[in-house]
Structure 1
Amino acid sequence: MPSYRSYSDSELSYLLTQDDELAFTEIYHRFYGLLFIHASKRLNNDEEAKDVVQQLFESLWLKRAQVKPDGNLSAYLYTAIRHRILDIFSHQKVENKYVDSLQRFIDQDHELSDYKIREKQMKELIEKEIDSLPPKMREIFLLSRMQNKSHKEIAEELNISELTVKTQVKRALKILRSKLGLMVYVAFLLKVNS
């Protein structure tokens, strides 16, 4: 009986699908070193490379029935190790992203209360300026910007022309812009439109 070393990759693949443990052992010895070197170069970490190759061979044994006996065994193994390495990289990316965002959250945490105070002050300032608009203009403006009603809807509701609505909204925005300053005005518009 010939030694398993003399078998071709496809013969070993076929025997593997037949639950031949000796064929599996030969595949392991034949490819372990090459796969380890490949993984180690990519991962820059021998321990991680060992784990990845070990997991690949465990998976190979568990899924031995799915191996194509006439397929290219080395290509199959290299593709499998490549996918595992890419999984590690994408997992590390996700982890790094998580750590980065956690760090940003910690960094921003102390700024948050400051921001909330500023936001509250800005909101009060905007409300005060809206309240100081002429009554009819204020009513039209609030219907337009706070209740998101169209000029047509407002015109019908208040029994006035669409042109009047458009003019009043335009004037209100002009007044608010001059009183609030550009930055607060833009922030207000973004908030209203979001």
Structure 2
Amino acid sequence: MRIYGSYSDSELAFLLTKGDELAFTEIYNRFYALLFIHASKRLNDEEEAKDLLHQLFESLWVKRMQVAPDGNLSGYLYAAVRNRILDVFAHSKVENKYVASLQDYIDQDHVQTDHLVREKQMSMLIEQEINALPPKMREIFILSRKENKSHKEIAIQLGLSELTVKTQVKKALKILKSRLGLVIYVTLLFKTYR
């Protein structure tokens, strides 16, 4: 009987498609460190790289039947990591644009008189939606966006992990975007072309 460490990548891929948990463990052990180095260099964030790989290997197990049993396993995994990194960058770009537009709107306090009423209403709407967030998420979001504290500073202040803080900020932004996105967009569009 052969030890899993002696199996080739294609043998492991074949066993994986059959639901062999030990083959999956060997694939994880064989590729995790290399993929982590690759992902953390590209993302410049070790925690995000760990999250990405956790999701990748979870997906690999769930979709194990889709792995080509005689294909290039390392190529498959590197391509999957690359695609996930590109998704992170794309998501981050959209998120940063949204935050910037939201912050620009909040920061503007000198506009023509006829716009003041609308701005006040918009600010109240934004504050109302921020106040409607779950208490801990709201506290983290306010520390992040209004007090400009880093995720690390917030984590220390509240006794949480940086990853928890980052996740809560992302969730808050997603909620606010879904509730305010169209209103903010129309308001900014009106101001830009006025």
TM over 0.5: yes
SS of alignment partner, residue 42 of structure 2: helix
* Equivalent in the alignment of 1:161: none
Q: Aligned in 2, Cα 1:90/1:82: closer, same or farther, shift over 3 Å?
A: same
Superposition misfits of 4+ residues, deviation over 2 angstroms: 110-117
Paired amino acid for 1:23 = A
> CA-to-partner distance for each residue in 1:57-108, whole Å, 9 max, x for gaps?
0000000000000110001000101111111111111111011001111233
TM-score (norm 2): 0.57
SS of alignment partner, residue 111 of structure 2: helix
* Equivalent in the alignment of 2:188: none
1:115 Cα shift? 5.7
* Equivalent in the alignment of 2:25: 25
Paired amino acid for 1:114 = T
**When the two structures are aligned, how many residues end up with a matched partner?**
118
- 2:54 aligned with 1:54: yes
- 2:87 aligned with 1:114: no
1:1-194 to 2 correspondences below 5 Å: 1-108=1-108, 110-114=109-113, 116=115
Question: Percent same amino acid among aligned pairs?
Answer: 69
* Equivalent in the alignment of 1:138: none
Output the CA distance in 2 between the equivalents of 1:83 and 1:44. Answer: 16
SS of alignment partner, residue 69 of structure 2: coil
* Equivalent in the alignment of 1:165: none
Larger radius of gyration: 1
Output the CA distance in 1 between the equivalents of 2:115 and 2:4. Answer: 72
Output the CA distance in 2 between the equivalents of 1:53 and 1:97. Answer: 26
Q: CA RMSD in A?
A: 1.8
> CA-to-partner distance for each residue in 1:128-183, whole Å, 9 max, x for gaps?
xxxxxxxxxxxxxxxxxxxxxxxxxxxxxxxxxxxxxxxxxxxxxxxxxxxxxxxx
Structure 2 unmatched ranges of 5 or more: 117-192
Paired amino acid for 1:90 = A
Output the CA distance in 1 between the equivalents of 2:86 and 2:71. Answer: 23
